[in-house]
């Protein structure tokens, strides 16, 4: 038998943790994507791969910011 949880007694932090636990308990099959979502993910992955070639390593950015702050 499942017990009832009075979520109104939980703090916002506890509720967010509960949301995370519930989300993590789902498998990919439990959350099917619509064709529109699939197309958008494909588009973003293609853009990510293309943009990665032009990416600047974090170490370079960090060094530049350090130079600017002096």
In contact, 10 and 18? CB cutoff 8 Å = yes
How are the residues of the chain apportioned to helix, strand and coil, as percentages rounded to the nearest 5? 70, 0, 30
Could you tell me the two tokens for 46? 């293609």
Q: End-to-end CA distance of the chain: give it in Å, rounded.
A: 64
Interval 6-38: pLDDT, tens: 999 999 999 999 999 999 999 999 999 999 999
Reply yes or no on whether the pLDDT at 1 is more than 80: no
In angstroms and rounded to an integer, the radius of gyration of the C-alpha atoms of the chain is 21
């Amino acid at each position: 038998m499942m017990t009832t949880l009075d979520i109104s007694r939980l703090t916002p932090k506890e509720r967010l943790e509960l949301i995370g636990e519930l989300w993590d308990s789902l498998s990919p099959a439990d959350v099917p994507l619509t064709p529109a979502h699939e197309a958008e993910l494909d588009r973003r992955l293609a853009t990510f791969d293309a943009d990665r070639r032009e990416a600047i390593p974090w170490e370079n950015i960090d060094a530049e910011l350090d130079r600017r702050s002096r």
